[in-house]
Amino acid sequence: MPGKLKAKIVAGRHLPVMDRASDLTDAFVEVKFGNTTFKTDVFPKSLNPQWNSEWFKFEVDDEDLQDEPLQITVLDHDTYSANDAIGKVYIDIDPLLCAEAASVISGWFPIYDTIHGIRGEINVLVKVELFNDLNRFRQSSCGVKFLCTTSIPRGYRAAMVHGFVEELVVNEDPEYQWIDRIRTPRASNEARQRLISLMSGELQRKIGLKVLEMGGNAVVGYLQCFDLEGESGLVVRAIGTACTLEKHSSGSLVNTHTHPNTAPASNACNSPSKDGKEPVFGEDLPSSSGPPTPFRILPTSSFSPPPFSPSKPCSRQSSSSDTDLSLTPKTGMGSGGSAGKEAGPLKTLLRQQTQTALEQREFPFFTLTSFPPGFLVHVGGVVSARSVKLLDRIHNPDEPETRDAWWEEIRQEIKSHAKALGCHAVVGYSENTSICEEVCILSASGTATILNPRYMREGCLDIGSTDHRFDDPSPPSCGFCHIPYDELNMPFPAQLTYCYNCRRQKVPDVLFTTIDLPAEAAVTGKGCLIQARLCRLKKKAQGEVNATAISNLLPFMEYELHTQLMNKLKLRSMNALFGLHIQISVGENMLLGLASATGVYLTALPAPGGIQIAGKTSGDLNNEQHIQSIQKRINDTIAKNKELHQINPPELTEEGVGSPIPEPRHRSRLFRSHSESSDEVSELDLSHGKKDAFVLEIDDTDAVEDIHSLLIDASPPTGFYTCNTETMPGIYNWTTAVQMFTSVRVLRLSNANLSNQSLNKIFTDLCENLLKSFYFKLRSNIPCCLCHLNFTVAVPEEELIQVSVTAVAMTFDQDQTQERFITKGGNETEEQLQFPLELCADSSSTNTQTSSKFSGVPENTIVSSRVFLNRSQKPHSVLFFSVCLFFCVLYVFCSLLLFLLLLLCIFGCGLRACVFYFIFCARVLCARVFSPAASVDYGSFADRCSTWLELLRLKAHTIRRGSVKTISSLENCSPLTEGRPRSLRSSRSFGGSSVTMVKMTPLSFLPGTRIIKYLGIINMFFIRETTSLREEGGVSGFLHSFIAEVFAMVRAHVAALGGNAVVSYSMKDCVLMENPNKNQAQCLINVSGDAVICVRETDQEPMTSMTNIGQSCTADGAT
């Protein structure tokens, strides 16, 4: 189905001087789409040409519309010699193909040249007419929305989440083609930019087709990456989550996806809507005679001894009565063979239910990191897989099978890991690569979870949360912490205790995930960024030898990174990591590992023990003292960190209550007597055999170094908080001030003979100094939180370490935070106050739950409390012991796997590489039970907002015109000739308003504002090269201006789409190559994000009063 693309070149400004003689330029413009080119007239002798061209019309297939960018070239006309290029603008017209997104692209674009950077600006108008409106998007993937945001976009609801989509396209890299030897660097760069633009267009189109096949209309969490494989080619690959998105219509539940800022507001109105849904799910439930509280399940659980709650299957049955699943509970119980285990039937059942929904999918992966309440039932832990490959030339670009097969392998592995954790899905899934010469490390990681099956079939993500509470009666604030796997069938040894929040189900001692902290989670205190950094030297080698060496190093690196993470977590007295991202980067002679995550203290999880130092050679008095001093330092640090992050876990109250927190070993023995599955138990017992465990042993200098490096991490100065997730627990009252920034630092290692230790120190210092720099630079924003701190490491050359960081500094209101903390207090039930949302219903119901448990299960309670006492007499070292052991077992597991896969690879696929995998422990997320919706109709809001915005714009326009008029009248009395002074006047009087301020943030929201429209994805790739590096201020000057230019181009594109912000912004690649001797450098940057229109939250007030108008608007829009 064809479409008509129309483009109009209006004007240029600030053009560079191309004619030295006249100090002017004779500019004209070439507009190219596909193979068609149009030209404007030459506008002679001006640096601010006014072309005001006709509409250039391109009649093209929509396949081309999706693949091709509109290419605008500005040239300087030269009568005698060839015309000189001034620069180019590539405009991705994809946003115009989507009905709901932008309708016109209009604005000033920087004219970009890969050698000179930005050279002036050009004003362009672009429109698209797609023919045959009714059948508009049937034949192609035009109209599929692409969003980088890794959550359901605000203002939308996911009617259905279809699942994982992936695609990759390969091509030869123009930089490595023979022709590159004879063409200019500019031509080569432009060929590359154009090719990548084409490839990503093609990729999007192909993914769009897959989405349409699945029945969806959008891709959320779209993650596109480039692999510059050098000689062997160029790979563009993308993953995402296919969804069916619906705009919130008036009357429906909205704002399920609250960020803390809006959460309190929506609290008041959530109950009526819930009541409305109640009969639907409640009719089959005979026992639900109580009041329609969110926890209707409670009456039942009070007479059935939890955790063996018979009401669970019962309620689930009733809730899923409409599907074929109604039979599954019985079969589940029968075939599960795990009857008698705690919550066994429930879990088997859950698994079976969702399995049916997920089984037909090849990969039950989700690239989302935050979810509507009720979506996640359980989280199994972090799963990751890495594979080392040798790159081979891509012989046939049309069949990228090799690369596909590689990723397929890894994804299979991830899937099987998830299964091993008793989970059927992976969320927060991401993939990345690190390439050095011909070696490539492919990595994938995610969080294994059990999802609520309802969302898979009926899809009502937000509304469905009502029935979720029948599936899992855990309070939303802690439910996600409960383990998903069978306690007796654990995939790894972990120490389980009863949940500190609801005391009904088991929780692990620590929780690692790759997703964002669920908004409903109960957290004590604030969180902070935790990083593990590691350098490992390796010998230079070629080919397979190199690959083998790398894959041999990988498990050690993962292990050490993990130990570091764990120790640092304990040092901060926290018990969970969110947003865990481990990057391993390969260079010629070293491997860099960087793990970043946000540590928090989950109220539901047990308090972490301290860190104990043990010396190997006891008796030595000096040594003893040394150890003691270190121990003291560590203890002091822990105490200081507790204070800093306001972690005051309610330990005392718990012990007073005598809550059931059994020690795992006892628990398992207890169950042995009850159950038949004693095989696993003995296996478990094995792992708990040794008792003399400790954390850190000082037996050599390495260990001392380790401890020192542990203590070297400076905590942020007062007024600063850090995290790498979307928001910071404990901070709610963000102001609208945001400052997004990108920082890059490259360190040259001067000494060739560095040891691993000193290298580690250098790397750690590099990261720490970067953070210190940020604190200093952003000190005027205090109090503020550096959110979404995203570190990327690379080894661009031998002896170079590159760290790039993109993050956003968000200011908040200090006083209110304090208040909140005062009200919060130390009591566990009061902890719920932290989430004002749940205050009315949740905290009370949690209480009921706890009490009912005690009354209902006398036997268990007694046993547990006895064990609890037992435990309390023991030192904390048990905790650490389990951690150590866990790694040992992991080791064995990994090496076995490694070996197996090696064999598989070598014999099976004939791939010259070995694969290695790793699973982490970590646990479950469960989502909030309520839909906290303030049932205000944001759907019509959005429409109203847009119309209102339009109005505003119109007004602004008339104002501007008006003022121009007054100026011209002024000119009458003191006539100023020409237009120059006039334009000056207006720019002066409008304070530079001719350029829209565009905010950028790596987060999915802007505090204090509401996103009223998603305009389309921004996905841009730029190359910049210089042959006058010194003149541009060295590498720093070069990169500084390039990054500034990239920001400027992103902002210009957003503004041209009519937007005023970019959310979910990320810089995916920043590849810098330099040759100072030749005075040359080249840099490639790839950025992406979602262009949006947002309005201040306070601006809504006047709109609510105009409800009628708004509704009529919505009606108009619908027809």
Partner 1 sequence: MAVELDVFVGNTTIMDEEVYQLWLDGYTVNDAVKVRMAGGVLDECEANQDVLLSDTMDQYRTFQMCERLLQSPAKLANQLLFQIPPHRQTMLIERYYAFDDAFVREVLGKKLSKGTKKDLDDIGAKTGVTLKSCRRQFDNFKRVFKVVEELKGPLVENIRQHFLLSDKLARDYAAIVFFANNRFETGKKKLQYLTFQDFAFCAGQLINNWTVGAVDNMAEDMDVDLDKEFLQELKELKVLITDKDLLDQHKSLVCTALRGKTKAFTEMEANFKNLSRGLVNIATKLTNTKDVRDFFIDLVEKFIEPCRSDRWTSADVKLYLTHYTNSAHILDSFKHQAVWDRYMGVIKSCIFKMYHD
**Among 649, 639, 669, 659, CA closest to 576:** 649
**Among 1093, 1079, 980, CA closest to 1038:** 1079
- Calpha distance 664→669 (Å, rounded): 9
- Calpha distance 263→518 (Å, rounded): 13
- Calpha distance 331→326 (Å, rounded): 10
- Calpha distance 275→886 (Å, rounded): 46
- Calpha distance 581→767 (Å, rounded): 15
Q: Is 1114 helix (H, G, I), strand (E, B) or coil?
A: helix
For tokens 């708990």, the residue is 688
The arrangement of strands across the sheet holding 156-171 comes to 145-146, 218-228, 234-247, 156-171
- Calpha distance 955→949 (Å, rounded): 10
- Calpha distance 63→81 (Å, rounded): 38
What angle is formed at CA 1092 by the lines to CA 817 and CA 1017, rounded to 5 degrees? 120
Q: Is 73 helix (H, G, I), strand (E, B) or coil?
A: strand
Helix (H) or strand (E) holding 768: helix 756-777
**Among 1018, 1041, 1013, CA closest to 941:** 1013
Question: What's the longest Cα–Cα distance across the chain?
Answer: 102
- Calpha distance 637→551 (Å, rounded): 36
The full length of the chain comes to 1119
**In the structure encoding, which two tokens stand for residue 997, read together?**
């301020």
The arrangement of strands across the sheet holding 511-512 comes to 511-512, 576-586, 590-602, 523-537
How near is the Cβ of 1051 to partner 1 at its closest, in Å? 7
- Calpha distance 482→473 (Å, rounded): 11
Q: Is 551 helix (H, G, I), strand (E, B) or coil?
A: helix
- Calpha distance 447→577 (Å, rounded): 12
CB burial string 590-603: b at 16+ within 10 A, e below:
bbbbbbbbbbbbbb
What angle is formed at CA 69 by the lines to CA 67 and CA 74, rounded to 5 degrees? 160
**In the structure encoding, which two tokens stand for residue 672, read together?**
């042995």
What angle is formed at CA 370 by the lines to CA 364 and CA 375, rounded to 5 degrees? 60
Q: What's phi and psi for 438, nearest 5 deg?
A: -100, 0
Give the HSE-up count for residue 469: Cα atoms under 13 Å, Cβ half-sphere.
30
**In the structure encoding, which two tokens stand for residue 281, read together?**
């799910």
Handedness of CA 819, 823, 829, 833 (dihedral sign): negative
For partner 1, which is the closer residue by CB, 405 or 984?
984
For partner 1, which is the closer residue by CB, 97 or 1054?
1054
Q: What is the DSSP letter of 717?
A: P
CA distance from start to end of the chain: 24
Give the HSE-up count for residue 923: Cα atoms under 13 Å, Cβ half-sphere.
31
Binding region for partner 1 (CB under 8 A): 13-14, 108, 110, 118, 121, 714, 717, 739-751, 762, 769, 772-779, 800, 802, 974-977, 981, 983-985, 987-988, 991-995, 997-1000, 1033-1037, 1039-1041, 1043-1045, 1047-1049, 1051-1052, 1072
For partner 1, which is the closer residue by CB, 98 or 148?
148
**In the structure encoding, which two tokens stand for residue 987, read together?**
């720019």
Name beta bridge partners: 1091: 1016, 1062
Q: What is the DSSP letter of 769?
A: H
- Calpha distance 584→564 (Å, rounded): 15
Alpha carbon 630 to its chain's center:
37
- Calpha distance 764→706 (Å, rounded): 11
Question: CB under 8 Å to 630, separation ≥6 — which residues?
Answer: 613, 698, 707
